[in-house]
Amino acid sequence: MFEIQKAEAMINPLKEWRMKFETNSLASHDFVSFFHSSASNFIQIEQKANSDLGSYNFDERNAKHGVIELIEKFICGDNSQSFLERLKSRASEASVCGRVFKIGEPTYSCRECSMDPTCVLCSSCFKKSSHRLHKYKMSTSGGGGCCDCGDSEAWKRDPSCEEHSAIIPEILDSTIVTDKNDKCSEIVFKAILNYCVKNLQIQSDSSLAELGESEDEDVYCTILYNDETHTFEQLCRSKPRTNVETAN
């Protein structure tokens, strides 16, 4: 593992970022270049015994110290932790439910108001909503998914129950989140997304050279798309039956 001193010895670009920001010359490619140049400092490749392949160790502690904390200071200021704590303390109570369903938990879908059958309410929100007086469908959850109470895009009308409709999202104090914070965040996150997209793309002609060319042309891949209608259990029952019918 690397020592923190090594991360501190890296060129600190924070001062340069701030100077460029003040002169309106800072762009996302400044951060992308920094990500490229610093990434190798936090990965250590180790050769495996009796193998041409290697393994790598990621130095998470120094990556946080040498990259994430620098970005936090650029966006939030030198006392970034204090800024984040104040921001957290001003966070308003959620105006959406978002309860994650457990297996077997009841869910309710309004036949009159939901945008589609996947828009559902938990039991608590349903009992406090106007949808209890409408035509509705009760189901049991297969696990996963969440309550859509408060999500205006999920309902044609009455998107919130009595509890969540009483919550008005609080506008963040402009003295905490300033225009400068917004502009800094926009530049940084644009750079992060560009960097991830560029480096995580899979080239269609990529291959492992050491494995050589495959002589077996009879290679297939099956992709099953979720239609938001069938359950996972139905899929598990149908897939083996499909394999048998195809073989025959």
- The 10 Å Cβ neighbour count of residue 231 is 13
Model-wide pTM > 0.85: no
At 8 the pLDDT is 45
Return the structure tokens found at 42.
């936090």
Domain ranges of the chain: 4-91+175-200, 106-165
Q: Report the distance separating Cα 164 and Cα 7, nearest Å.
A: 47
The answer for 57, left when phi > 0, alpha when psi is -120 to 50, beta otherwise, is beta
Using DSSP, state whether 90 is helix, strand or coil: coil
Using DSSP, state whether 107 is helix, strand or coil: strand
Backbone angles phi and psi of 100, in degrees to 5: -85, 125
Divide the 248 residues of the chain into consecutive groups of 10 and give the mean pLDDT of each group: 44 87 93 89 79 78 90 92 81 77 93 93 94 94 90 92 74 72 94 89 58 60 71 75 59
The DSSP letter of residue 101 is: P
At 6 the pLDDT is 42
Q: CATH number of the domain at 106-165, out of 3.10.20.30, 3.50.50.60, 1.10.1790.20, 2.10.110.30? A: 2.10.110.30
- The 10 Å Cβ neighbour count of residue 229 is 8
At 215 the pLDDT is 57
Name the nearest CA neighbour of 191 among 20, 26, 6. 26
